[in-house]
Chains A and B, each alone.
Chain A
């Protein structure tokens, strides 16, 4: 675990004369003066979340399309991504670090890996729930398999796909707090620089929560825009 400790450098607190700060309390003044310290970790955190959900989605989506046409692949893919999901993140970092070295890459790979299962499952469920008669009518009218997929199946699967993305995004915001272990920074690192200081914990933790909520909201809005028929018939 020496690699772990290597990533943490305890920081000198500025404003050391304030009694609130000395007592590790919740200090609005300190927060206001030091908020800029959190900008870079927040950006970093967001980058990690967005890129790993995007990568996870890209891979899981392709896997789902593959399994949709070749049903026998559903079991193996669910199994493989399920195993990936159960590996503790520390262990996964430890496995990746010798190959990738410290930094953004191992965190990205690990976090993407965790997203595969839930996104794959939701894309599959979305495609499976498309009414059989809609597909039948589409084929019967002369749409090719690919046209049926693009024009009928995928649009109808959007609600389930977005549901998967929402779960993936929310969990990744939390998981990414451990990414600093792999040297990727983020809000997790910020927490550990001063783990006894309430103000620090509240701000870093709060930013995580706000980020999760905002991203979730973004996805909800995107879904509503992409599937107007759901709203019209609800």
Chain B
């Protein structure tokens, strides 16, 4: 099924007996195929906003349009079968196996048995659980595994809109990272419209195409892309919520391949040293990079290494990062190796360019106040 557009128009929700409305007046437009993250402190109305969409809660004012049609024009049960929903408390059925749990909506939609079984296998694979676990009951899984099953169950019928309420809340950091990546990879293929609730700003920045920061009472403090949010927080509330390290957080938004790298000056064994010295002079690092026939880095060569006729074989330690790494992780790798630059390699290990701390500092400086200018001073080894 294709992705749907979602629009909230002046939506309000007043719980009976509550002094103030949980959501006062919320308007939000989510484009088809986009992940919209709702983020905000506990009790600000994220879950409420989400449940208004699939009518688990009825709104008291305004309108919600799914693909331009009011959600109120359809029977709630039918509407909900088209909207994948992973609830905050997971809510697996204890009496059903994992496979049966996952196949809930497909069964409601009348899929035949073979199709259900295939889909369950596919999803087990996707969430990284072994197939034999499909025959277990929820109580025989860990909390994090259960949560992954909850996500699989929401995805099962391939709905055009997904509502996910803190879907990775109970997963440990390592698995969360993996699940987030899996989820983003999957999303890149299927391009669903997703409303994703979290109270973790880092998760919001990582997962969101756009982020809606909510304040108490469901007030929309800012609705922007992660980069905009980090570079130009709308007010003190957003700035506080985003955190003092927002400059660094921007490094989690870009990958090594997204920014302009220094060109690598490369030589191979047997190349004339004259040429190598010329290249070294042009290189911002002052060194040339010795590579093998497959363009894979072998060693950095300095003036002394180039004193003979031809480039000889060398062995050295070359710090490298992958072009698919997040800038944050790449910077962390460089610092870990105590170097100011490293070779960026592609998936096959071939040299793509040179990433330096200086480039990263420039990247941050270009788009906002630069905090680590001093670090850009020297482009040589620290040690």
Which A positions have Cβ atoms within 8 angstroms of B?
131, 133-144, 147, 151-152, 155-156, 227, 229, 232-233
Contacts and interface: CB of A to CB of B under 8 A. Distances in A.
B371 interface: no
A133 B90 contact: yes
Interface stretch (B14-22, B136-144, B169-177): B136-144
A164 to B, nearest CB: 18
Given A133-B87, A133-B89, A136-B56, A141 B139 contact: no
Contacts of B95: 152, 155-156, 227, 229
Contact of B139 (A137, A152, A233): A233
A133 B91 contact: yes
Interface in B78-94: 78-82, 85, 87, 89-94
A156 B136 contact: no
A143 B93 contact: no
B81 A142 contact: yes
A141 B153 contact: yes
B105 interface: yes
Given A131-B94, A156-B95, A232 B140 contact: yes
Given A140-B87, A233-B139, 9 more contacts: A131-B91, A136-B89, A139-B56, A140-B85, A142-B108, A143-B108, A144-B77, A155-B95, A229-B94
Interface of B: 51, 54, 56, 76-82, 85, 87, 89-96, 104-105, 108, 136-137, 139-140, 150, 153-154
A141 B90 contact: no
A142 B94 CA distance: 18
B87 A143 contact: no
6 contacts: A134-B93, A137-B85, A139-B80, A141-B154, A151-B93, A229-B95
A233 B92 CA distance: 14
Contact of A141 (B85, B136, B140): B85
Among A135, A139, A141, A147, residue most surrounded by chain B Cβ atoms (within 10 Å)? A141
B78 A134 contact: no
Given A140-B80, A141-B104, A232 B136 contact: yes
Nearest to A234: B139
Nearest to A232: B137
A152 B100 CA distance: 12
What does DSSP make chain A's interface, helix, strand, loop or mixed?
A: helix
Among A131, A134, A142, residue most surrounded by chain B Cβ atoms (within 10 Å)? A142
A133 to B, nearest CB: 4
A137 B136 contact: no
Given A139-B56, A141-B104, A141-B153, A156 B94 contact: yes
Q: Which 7 A-B pairs have the closest CB atoms?
A: A137-B91, A142-B81, A142-B80, A133-B91, A233-B139, A133-B89, A140-B85
B74 to A, nearest CB: 11
B94 A143 contact: no
A66 B77 CA distance: 22
A230 to B, nearest CB: 8
A138 B93 contact: yes
Nearest to A135: B91
B105 to A, nearest CB: 5
A222 to B, nearest CB: 15
Given A134-B93, A137-B85, A229-B94, A142 B139 contact: no
B80 A229 contact: no
B91 A136 contact: yes
Contacts of B85: 137, 140-141
Contacts of B108: 141-143, 147
A30 B136 CA distance: 56
Contacts of B89: 133, 136-137
A137 B92 contact: yes
A32 B13 CA distance: 78
A154 to B, nearest CB: 10
Contact of B87 (A136, A151, A229, A232): A136
Given A136-B87, A137-B85, A142 B93 contact: no
B56 A140 contact: yes
Contacts of A232: 136-137, 139-140
Nearest to A145: B77
A76 B5 CA distance: 49
Contacts of B150: 137
A139 B139 CA distance: 21
A227 B153 CA distance: 22
A142 B140 contact: no
Contacts of A142: 76-82, 105, 108
Contacts of A131: 91, 94
A138 B91 CA distance: 8
A135 B82 CA distance: 18
Given A140-B87, A141-B85, A134 B92 contact: yes
B92 A141 contact: no
A156 B93 CA distance: 9
